[in-house]
Chain A
Amino acid sequence: MIVKIAFKNIWRNKLRSWVVIIAIALGIFGGLAVISTATGLSKMRQNNAIRTYVSHLQLHDSAYLKYGRLDDTINQQADIITYLEKSKKVKGISPRLKVESFIQSAGGTSGVILNGIDPEKERQVTDLAEQCIAGNFLERYKQKPPIIISQKLATKLNARVKTTIQCSFTNNMGVPITGIFKVVDIFSTSNSMYDELNAFVRLEDLQHLTSIQGSHEIAVVLHEEKEVEQFREELISKFPNQHIASWRGIAPDLGYADKMMDLVMTLFLIIIMLALAFGIVNTMLMAVLERKKELGMLISVGMNKRKVFWMIIWESIFLALIAGPLGIFSTYLAVNFFGRVGIDLSFAAQGLRSIGLESTLFPILDDKYYVIISILVIITAILSCIYPALKALKLNPAETLRTA
């Protein structure tokens, strides 16, 4: 009966109850929407970085990372590649030769990292080929060795497809080396800073130019992202002389962003719950104060204070039980819809690109947040109506009955 009365009580003032329910639901929706958007942005940035330039794992010769010398290539390359190719966890590998170079066209100059790549293998680890405007990922060329540069670099060099480019660097002996390339395509990734600093040529062309066999870097992409750290440990134990880093180590800012996002989400959850708590305290306090006389009557006729207390608690639980699923379900629908369709942020595309983001955002919300929010809503509802319930217990029945 107490539960029944409590449920009926919340519908006494339908408008007020619905305002509170909608406010709580909107609070939950808003909070979860922000969390899912932030998660989507973080994941997009992370995925873009992994897809575009970081990959899941990178192997280098330790000396190369320390001194950056051209001849510090990976000394066990053949063994490593064989091992990686045999592993079922590995989706793709791409050896790269990297040279810091001065790039020059008739229209301008710049500094770049010249990446010697095997186009076919690079396709397995990055989506660079998909970012090429003409779809020529160093595959079609005539006499001059091909090069692809970014849109940003092309603008800087005043270059376009078919423009001849000159790349200069010095080898370990200090001997200047110059290579002539022809631009065969122009790419544009979601990271403008990366674009400006990188150009791509065929691995054999760069090996020929530098007279260096092998590569400085092997990029590895696994089938499952969650296996990265475990596989890294496996590689370290197998090839202890190589420097093997996961994407978290290569681009620590992405890992920090992940941790930061967890912190932000916790803060958001606290804010949502505080807003919910204040909403319930306010409503229940009003409901108690409005019903002083009735509560006094209930105590007068023999309803003990424990039952009065639980009646108020149940009223609050009912408000939360209606608002919670409403907010959570609407969030679920919105996240699923926009998770498929995406949110168009093209109006801010340029700004987003400068921080490694695309212009279509796909919100993501881990299932655990629905469970966490559900539990927190109930706990908050119970905790926040304790004060109004205690207020009800302090009522003096004789006094409340005197108030007309």
Chain B
Amino acid sequence: MIKVTHVTKTYDDGKVRVEALRGINVEIKNGEFTAIVGPSGSGKTTLLNIIGGLDTPTEGNVIIGETNIAHLSENQLIDFRLNHIGFVFQSYNLIPVLTAKENVEFLMLLQNKSEAERDERTTKLLKAVGLEDQINKKPNEMSGGQQQRVAVARALASKPDFILADEPTANLDSASTANLLDIMYRLNQEENMTFVFSTHDQRVIDRAKRVITVEDGKILSDIYA
């Protein structure tokens, strides 16, 4: 479970002070398929970054499982992210010099998993996202949709507690978006994987089981479908 309590985030460069989050309280249970929505500058990406341990809150706590990540050091956060959080980014962010298989395998290598385990899981994940025939292709040899599916497989490879997806469909066409949502929805249903999206995309919002709307750094609404 993800538990965010009284989280504020203020950016202050000495000249300009911006309050990106103002006392956010939210709980996301295991197995949820949640979309965080809101206009640009509303704070949804900041919230996602804080949940993902990419940014630290100015005040408040972020408890994932039993760990308050707001109090972890930088190196502890990196290790925590590796073992507990999967990331899917808007622009895929695959490693361009590696093949699809190597990209998926990468996090398991960082976790020092055995070769047999890596091979088995990589094959299984690429099959799950429908790319079993693309394993030796490099990102520049694949379409945007295919790359994002590899990114999903990569996010799942480290067996995370949940997946954070920052605008995952923003660069995809309709068919690819539908395909990607189907895959993520199936993983959510079949494997009880928790997904948290930040998105503008109505197609994602339509598929979400819960929609949290953020505006001016506050939660405006929190609706279960």
- B110 and A303 within 8 A (CB): yes
- A307 and B110 within 8 A (CB): yes
Complex contacts, A402 vs chain B, CB 8 Å:
45
> What are 15 A-B contacts with C-beta separation under 8 Å?
A293-B91, A293-B93, A297-B87, A298-B95, A299-B78, A300-B81, A301-B81, A301-B82, A301-B154, A302-B81, A302-B107, A302-B110, A303-B78, A305-B75, A305-B78
Binds B, one of A5-13, A34-42, A320-328: A5-13
Complex contacts, B142 vs chain A, CB 8 Å:
none
Specify the main secondary structure of chain A where it touches its partner: helix
In angstroms, how far is the closest chain A Cβ from the Cβ of B104?
Answer: 12
Q: Which of A9, A304, A398, A404 contacts B49 (CB 8 A)?
A: A398
User: With the chains together, A1 CA to B55 CA distance in Å?
Assistant: 27
Complex contacts, A8 vs chain B, CB 8 Å:
97-98
Residue of B49, B78, B83, B166 contacting most chain A CB atoms (<10 Å): B78
- Given A8-B97, A300-B81, is A404 in contact with B158 using a C-beta cutoff of 8 Å? no
Q: Report if A371 contacts B (CB, 8 A).
A: no
In angstroms, how far is the closest chain B Cβ from the Cβ of A305?
Answer: 7
- A304 and B78 within 8 A (CB): yes
Q: Which of B87, B91, B109 contacts A300 (CB 8 A)?
A: B87
User: With the chains together, A5 CA to B106 CA distance in Å?
Assistant: 10
| Residue interface mask A210-239, B partner, CB < 8 A = 1 | 000000000000000000000000000000
Complex contacts, B83 vs chain A, CB 8 Å:
302
- B78 and A401 within 8 A (CB): no
Q: Which of A11, A294, A307, A398 contacts B54 (CB 8 A)?
A: A398
Complex contacts, B96 vs chain A, CB 8 Å:
12, 294
Residue of B nearest to A7 (CB): B97
User: With the chains together, A320 CA to B88 CA distance in Å?
Assistant: 36
- B89 and A5 within 8 A (CB): no
Specify the main secondary structure of chain B where it touches its partner: helix
- Given A294-B93, A401-B93, is A1 in contact with B54 using a C-beta cutoff of 8 Å? no
| Residue interface mask A1-41, B partner, CB < 8 A = 1 | 10001001101100000000000000000000000000000
- Given A1-B106, A307-B110, A398-B55, is A297 in contact with B93 using a C-beta cutoff of 8 Å? yes
- A5 and B110 within 8 A (CB): no
User: With the chains together, A216 CA to B98 CA distance in Å?
Assistant: 81
Complex contacts, A303 vs chain B, CB 8 Å:
78, 82, 110
Q: Which of A1, A297, A299 contacts B89 (CB 8 A)?
A: A297
Q: Report if B79 contacts A (CB, 8 A).
A: yes
Residue of A nearest to B93 (CB): A297
Residue of A nearest to B138 (CB): A8
| Residue interface mask B140-173, A partner, CB < 8 A = 1 | 0000000000000011001000000010000000
- Given A8-B97, A297-B93, A401-B93, is A304 in contact with B75 using a C-beta cutoff of 8 Å? yes
- B110 and A300 within 8 A (CB): no
| Residue interface mask A286-297, B partner, CB < 8 A = 1 | 000000011001
Q: Report if A68 contacts B (CB, 8 A).
A: no
- A12 and B81 within 8 A (CB): no
- Lowest 4 CB-CB distances: which A-B pairs, in order? A302-B82, A8-B97, A297-B93, A398-B54
| Residue interface mask B100-133, A partner, CB < 8 A = 1 | 0010011101100000000000000000000000
| Residue interface mask B68-83, A partner, CB < 8 A = 1 | 0000001100110111
Complex contacts, B82 vs chain A, CB 8 Å:
301-304
In angstroms, how far is the closest chain A Cβ from the Cβ of B171?
Answer: 10
Which residues of A in the span 275-318 have a Cβ within 8 Å of any Cβ on B?
293-294, 297-305, 307
